[in-house]
Amino acid sequence: ALEHEHAEELTATILSSDALERLLADALSSPAVQGALARQTATMGERIIGAVRASAARGDIAVDRAVRRRDGQALPGVCTRGLGPVVDALLAQLVFLTIVGTVALVASLTVGVHHGWLAGTLGGAGWALVQVVYFAGSWAGSNRTPGMGLLGIRVSRPDGGGIGLGRSLVRLAGLWLSVALLGLGFLPALVDPRRRALQDYLAGTQVVRDLTIG
């Protein structure tokens, strides 16, 4: 019966019918289906975040063993702290490239694109501005960047309060300095009792766990 030509014609008619299209559209837009898809997406996101945090925590433990540190994991270790800026740098770079690409496209269609020292200077200034808005703005506004939220950590004053824009700018300058020193500015976090890096010393901040973020 399934191989009969009438069955094939009937199947083709059903698949191409407007009624089937409306039925599928109604089913997919129903609250039950939308709720199930939302729950599935949320669950998958939670699993990914959990896996990233667990991997970083295992790295923290391994590093602590290597340096013979035995004060537990009350504060995030260097792997958790280090992975956050890597994620943030990639996101900030993506934002910057999107802006540059848009500006370059508009310029090429209007006044033309001219490469030279002015374009390089403007590009460098733009990249610095993106970092200020991304990092300092995130720290001042919500005490964490998206990368820190992914890792379940935040930055705070020693008393646990927010750090504000001034400290955020100083901390960003310290982060730039730590990177310019080929990462040496991050080494104090290995031995400091509060796991502070150079940027934390300069801004008077600390990084603490906040697993409610994510």
pLDDT grade for 5, boundaries at 50, 70 and 90? low
H-helix or E-strand spanning residue 156: strand 153-156
Residue predicted with more confidence, 100 or 27: 100
**H helical segments located in 4-77:** 5-15, 18-28, 31-66
Q: pLDDT digits over 123-141, tens only?
A: 889 899 999 999 999 999 9
Would you tell me how many other CB atoms lie within 10 Å of the CB of residue 168? 23
Residue 202 has pLDDT above 90, yes or no: yes
Residue predicted with more confidence, 104 or 49: 49
Would you tell me how many other CB atoms lie within 10 Å of the CB of residue 156? 18
- What pLDDT was estimated at residue 37? 61
Distance between CA 105 and CA 80 in Å, rounded? 38
- What pLDDT was estimated at residue 104? 77
Task: Report the sign of the C-alpha dihedral through residues 31, 33, 38, 43, in that order.
Answer: positive
Please state the rounded mean pLDDT for residues 53-71: 90
- What pLDDT was estimated at residue 197? 95
